[in-house]
Amino acid sequence: MDYYQGFFTLKEGVSDVEFADHFAAYMNRLKDEGAIEGWRLMRRKLGLGPEQLHEFQFLVETDGLAQLDRAFRVVSTRAGEWEPLHHCVNGLVDEVVFALYRDFPDPHRERGEERF
């Protein structure tokens, strides 16, 4: 599984629950289309966490980079039903930092011959 993450703040004056509703609509549509496996939206608790990771975090689960690429291709058309969904999320966030992680160890990892 690959995990696409974003750490962000909301723009000044944006309602947290309004954003959460828009994000859910966007992610659920991607999931319904098979473009992603799952998603989560998280918020810092009790102010704990480094400032550079911002207040909110999203996590998108894909079964590999090919599925993530398909999701990006769907959204990057910037047309049809995808543009309003994307805009209602992208237009509300500020200071985004992205990351890409994977489950480890890789299921195909061989052991015993590593040289480092």
Q: What is the 3-state secondary structure (H, E, C) of the chain?
A: CEEEEEEEEECCCCCHHHHHHHHHHHHHHHHHCCCCCEEEEEECCCCCCCHHHCCEEEEEEECCHHHHHHHHHHHCCCCCCHHHHHHHHHCCEEEEEEEEEECCCCCCCCCCCCCC
**pLDDT band, residue 107 (cuts 50/70/90):** confident
Domains of the chain, first to last: 2-102 (3.30.70.100)
- What pLDDT, in 10s, does the model give residues 20-47? 999 999 999 999 999 999 999 999 999 8
- What pLDDT, in 10s, does the model give residues 64-89? 999 999 999 999 988 888 999 999 99
What pLDDT score was predicted for residue 92?
96
